[in-house]
Amino acid sequence: MSLQRQLVFWGLALAVTVFFLATLREILLPFVAGFALAYLLDPLADRLQRIGIGRLGASILILVIFVLLFIVTLVVLIPLVAQQVEAFVEKLPGYVDRLQQLAIQEGGPLLERLGGSSALSEIKTSVGNLVSQGLQWLGGVFQSLLSGGRALVSIMSLLVVTPVVAFYMLVDWDRMVSTVDSWLPMKQRDTIRAIFRDIDRAIAGFVRGQAMVCLILGTFYAVGLSVVGLNFGVLIGMGSGLLSFIPYVGSLTGLILSVGVAIVQFWPDWTWILATLAIFVFGQFVEGNILSPKLVGESVGLHPVWLMFALLAFGTLFGFVGLLLAVPLAASIGVVARYALKEYLSSPLYRGTNRKADLDA
């Protein structure tokens, strides 16, 4: 009965949490972002405390530096990136038309032998329609994001409320952890603490490690593509690095965009096209063999497929708030699932005997 009551209690708690997230997802973003920011900056605050700075002073110093960096980024980088994105979107149809012309020019005879001249016109029409629909969809997305009072309120609340929430959470972080720890059931306290330590290690290892991987890859791709002389090389490189947070998506997106632009820009000189391809091949080799094992590690336990599923699932259910919660929730579910599997494999249900008989034997 005790186990049944516990299952009912945690089931109800999960249902209430899901209902709370689904109902209040429109206003939760600055609070979730503030909590995530405080979680990421807490180790830095602890280090400042160890060198003699009080918790309040450390929190103020960290938040002031963070806000200053954010303002500089907002004032300097955002307009530059917006200008680059606008120019890239404007030139994208021309790049696609040029790729179509090269494909028809180089592969026309083969396509005519396979499907006749009608195949060429059908392919050209289909690709043109696909590109136009994609551009219209992107335009609609950006318009919906930037228009409307709700979007403006969300952006303003994110810029104003998030630092305030992060500051108060950072000041009271250790006290909150101690309070929650005192609420744990005394009989299962050690087990729950061990599970939460594993969850914290998984989340911190992945988020902080993967953030460094994204930064290093984005810088490498941007510098490499700029050295090659690729149009929009910085934009494509940094975008690929940021999207590397989702396994394989960043590198594949950057590879397709950069090679497509390189073919249009450098054709028929294959030297720079192959150099563009080599940049991403080398970047993937370094990420898979050096960066990810050293910075993220194998102990995190977040499989790429599970991570992609979590991002899509939580993003669909809870919007941008779900995207912020996807990684910590996926890591937490993974840790709990591994603990449950370990308990099952050592239980009489799996062994088919009772534990007392095993001990006597």
Residue 332 lies in a domain: no
Residue 151 confidence (pLDDT): 47
Residue range 247-304, pLDDT digits in tens: 677 788 888 888 888 888 888 788 888 998 899 889 888 887 888 777 776 555 667 7
Residue 153 lies in a domain: yes
199 φ/ψ angles, rounded to the nearest 5 degrees: -65, -45
Residue 108 confidence (pLDDT): 59
Q: Is the dihedral of CA 216, 218, 223, 224 positive or negative?
A: positive
CA proximity to 23, closest of 293, 319, 313: 319
CA separation for the pair 235, 221 (Å, rounded): 10
Domain that holds residue 78: 26-183
Amino acid at 49: Q
H helix runs in 116-228, sequence order: 117-146, 149-171, 173-182, 189-228
> For the residues 117-138, what does the mean pLDDT come to?
56
285 φ/ψ angles, rounded to the nearest 5 degrees: -65, -45
Residue 263 lies in a domain: no
Q: Please list, in sequence order, all residues whose beta carbon lies within 8 angstroms of the beta carbon of residue 50, skipping any fewer than 6 positions away.
A: none
> What pLDDT band is residue 27 in, cutting at 50, 70 and 90?
confident
Residue 108 lies in a domain: yes
Residue 202 lies in a domain: no
Q: Any idea what DSSP says for residue 269?
A: -
Q: Any idea what DSSP says for residue 78?
A: H
- Inter-residue contact 310 to 166 (CB < 8 Å): no
List the structure tokens of 343.
């308990």
> What pLDDT band is residue 154 in, cutting at 50, 70 and 90?
low
Q: Please list, in sequence order, all residues whose beta carbon lies within 8 angstroms of the beta carbon of residue 33, skipping any fewer than 6 positions away.
A: 158, 162, 165, 166, 324
* pLDDT exceeds cutoff 80 at 39: yes
Amino acid at 207: V
Q: Which carries the bigger pLDDT value, residue 355 or residue 81?
A: 81
CA contacts within 13 A on the Cβ side of 195: 18
Residue 231 confidence (pLDDT): 85
> For the residues 325-338, what does the mean pLDDT come to?
82
First to last CA, the chain: 30
Average pLDDT, the chain: 76
Residue 288 confidence (pLDDT): 77
CA separation for the pair 249, 240 (Å, rounded): 8
Residue 300 confidence (pLDDT): 57
Residue 147 confidence (pLDDT): 47
Residue 146 confidence (pLDDT): 46
Residue 191 confidence (pLDDT): 85
Distances (CA, A) of 109 to 114, 171, 263, 308: 9, 70, 20, 41
> For the residues 219-226, what does the mean pLDDT come to?
89
Residue range 159-214, pLDDT digits in tens: 778 888 888 888 888 888 888 888 877 877 888 888 888 888 888 777 778 788 88
CA separation for the pair 56, 286 (Å, rounded): 40
Percent of the chain with pLDDT over 90: 1
Q: Please list, in sequence order, all residues whose beta carbon lies within 8 angstroms of the beta carbon of residue 284, skipping any fewer than 6 positions away.
A: 251
Residue 107 confidence (pLDDT): 60
267 φ/ψ angles, rounded to the nearest 5 degrees: -55, 135
Residue 1 lies in a domain: no
Q: Which carries the bigger pLDDT value, residue 219 or residue 85?
A: 219
Residue 127 lies in a domain: yes
- Inter-residue contact 246 to 311 (CB < 8 Å): yes
Q: Please list, in sequence order, all residues whose beta carbon lies within 8 angstroms of the beta carbon of residue 25, skipping any fewer than 6 positions away.
A: 318, 319, 321, 322
Environment class of 211 (CB within 10 Å of its CB; exposed 0-12, middle 13-18, buried 19+): middle
Q: Helix, strand, or coil here: 230?
A: coil
CA separation for the pair 256, 59 (Å, rounded): 43
Q: State the greatest distance between any 2 C-alpha atoms of the chain, in Å, as a whole number.
A: 81
Q: Please list, in sequence order, all residues whose beta carbon lies within 8 angstroms of the beta carbon of residue 56, skipping any fewer than 6 positions away.
A: 171
Q: Helix, strand, or coil here: 267?
A: coil
The tally of domains found in the chain comes to: 1
Tell me the pTM: 0.70
* pLDDT exceeds cutoff 80 at 136: no
Residue range 341-354, pLDDT digits in tens: 888 888 777 777 65
Which span out of 52-66, 128-142, 248-262 was modeled with the highest average pLDDT? 52-66
> What pLDDT band is residue 152 in, cutting at 50, 70 and 90?
very low
- Inter-residue contact 167 to 61 (CB < 8 Å): no
